Amino acid sequence: MIVAVVGEAAGQSGEAAARSDITLPGLQANLIRRLAATGKPLVLVLMNGRPLALTNVAKRADAILEAWFPGIEGGNAVADVLFGTVNPGGKLPVTFPYSVGQVPIYYNHENTGRPPDPNNKYSSKYIDAPFTPLYPFGYGLSYTTFSVSNLQLSGDTMSAGSGSITATVEVTNTGDRAGDDVVQLYVHDPVAQIVQPVRRLRGFQRVTLGPGDHQTVTFTLTPQDVGYYDNTGSWVVEPGQIDVYAGDSSTADLHASFQVTPGS
């Protein structure tokens, strides 16, 4: 096995260190291509202070460990993960693009008048790249696998004044090793006086499960989770439909909905 530590130098990231090209600096991509050509399993340890465009190197690597800039104990932490002493369970707090041309790219963007449709040429997308990210916000793997299922809501209406909705999901460790998953809950208001983001993170919980174990995770939504500030700076909770999504990244596809009703 080959372990290659790649990424940015400390001075290439942070304040006053913008880059117009967010691929790996220098000849690192060439190095990775030659390492992959040996046919040996290739693991990349990535040290960086920003999302990078990794499309051309990710397809050559068998695994990528995102270490960021980990500090003086980083070597020990990375070794523990690589040798299996610990099972990683981190999730991305940012979105990784396919290419710099997708930037800015983030999970809670506003929709367009022509949402991306692969079957419609005249919709908001690229002709030379996917409209989805390489790695979405909230994404992360471990040495086991999980399933998130059975999204249930405690009701189908919430009072705009003081109501609440409880959302539950089932999380199951479907692999053969104990590990952590981070269950995430998102909401979307599809019809509002001011356009709302396609997803808003409204809750997350880390769960630790043994092989085959499962757990019910509960979230509580209130009017604070579905309202917004209007153009006058006033807090508004509008009556109407709220969509709820659950999963373990911002691409969560479990879906349910409820209605916000007038109330004081």
For the stretch 36-48, pLDDT in tens is: 999 999 999 999 9
How confident is residue 263, by pLDDT bands cut at 50, 70 and 90? Answer: confident
User: Which domains are assigned to the chain?
Assistant: 2-86 (3.40.50.1700), 146-261 (2.60.40.10)
CB 122 within 8 A of CB 200: no
Q: Which helix (H) or strand (E) holds 57?
A: helix 55-58
Q: How many residues does the chain have?
A: 264
Span 47-95, pLDDT tens digits: 999 999 999 999 999 999 999 999 899 999 999 999 999 999 999 999 9
Q: Which of 17-21, 77-81, 133-137, 221-225 has the lowest mean pLDDT?
A: 17-21
State the Cα angle at 211 between 66 and 153, rounded to 5°: 85
Residue 112 has pLDDT above 90, yes or no: no
How confident is residue 162, by pLDDT bands cut at 50, 70 and 90? Answer: confident
**Other C-beta atoms within 10 Å of 187: how many?**
22
Q: Which helix (H) or strand (E) holds 81?
A: helix 74-82
Buried b (16+ CB within 10 A) or exposed e, 105-117: bebeeeeeeeeee
DSSP 120: -
